[in-house]
Every structure is written in C-alpha cells, then in structure tokens.
Structure 1
Amino acid sequence: MTNVYSFDGILVFGLLFICTCAYLKKVPRLNSWLLSEKKGVWGVFYKAAVIGTRLHIAVALSCLCMAFYLVFVK
C-alpha cells in the first residue's frame, strides 16, 4: 500500500487522476459540467483530461510500469 507522502505515491495519484479525467471526458454529461472551465482550479481537470487523451500511449505505458514496480519491486 502506497501512501501519498512518498514519491511513488504521488506518481500513482497523478496517473490515476489523469486516467480518471480522460475517462470523464468521454461521458457527455460530466464533460460539460466538470471539464468546461479551462482556467483556474477547475481547469486542472480539463488539462489532465487533455494530457490523458493526447498522450494516451505514454500514460498507459507509465501505468503499466508503475504497476510492475509496485507489485514486483516494492
């Protein structure tokens, strides 16, 4: 179990946040409500969704590498 205060915990949180926002961008009702703002605090959700959709291969590979690290190395 990772905690948020370690570096790998922050990486896991960031990857899960990006994946969740990219998934929520595909849901029409949540897309218009949560991802409509492009600036400010709510803009973080939009920017994470853009990163997740444009760099989906890099994000997926990062998730696989982090899963391998957490299961087998740590």
Structure 2
Amino acid sequence: MTNVYSFDGILVFGLLFICTCAYLKKVPRLNSWLLSEKKGVWGVFYKAAVIGTRLHIAVALSCVAMAFYVVFLK
C-alpha cells in the first residue's frame, strides 16, 4: 500500500491520473464534458490527457517501472 504523502505515492498518483485522463479522452461523452476546458482548474484534466496521449510510450514504461517498484522493492 502506497502512502500519498510520500514521494513514491505522489508519483503513483500522478501516473494513474495521467493514464486515467488519457483513457477518458477516448470516451466521446466524457471527452466533451470533462476535457473541454483548456484553462483553469478543469484544464489540469485536459493537460494530463495531452501528456498521456503524446508521451504514451514514456508513460507506459513509467507505469511498468513503478509497478515493479511497488510490488517487488517496497
């Protein structure tokens, strides 16, 4: 179990947030509702979705590395 207040917990949360937003960008109803704003607080979801779609290989490798770290090393 990772703690949100530790550095590795923040990394896990960030990776899961980016992956979730990138997935939600592919769903048409949620894309128009959640990811329509590009500025402000709601713009964070849009920016995370853009990071997840443009850097999908790096995000996927980071998720695999973090999963290995959480399961075997922590």
CA drift of 1:67 comes to: 0.3
CA drift of 1:72 comes to: 0.8
Identity %: 95
Q: Structure 2: 5+ residue runs without aligned partners?
A: none
Runs (4+) off by over 3 Å: none
CA drift of 1:18 comes to: 0.1
Tell me the distance in 1 between the aligned counterparts of 2:17 and 2:29: 19
TM-score (norm 1): 0.99
CA drift of 1:70 comes to: 0.6
Q: How many positions carry a matched residue from both structures?
A: 74
TM-score (norm 2): 0.99
Tell me the distance in 2 between the aligned counterparts of 1:29 and 1:72: 38
Q: Quote the RMSD (CA, aligned, Å).
A: 0.3
Q: Structure 1: 5+ residue runs without aligned partners?
A: none
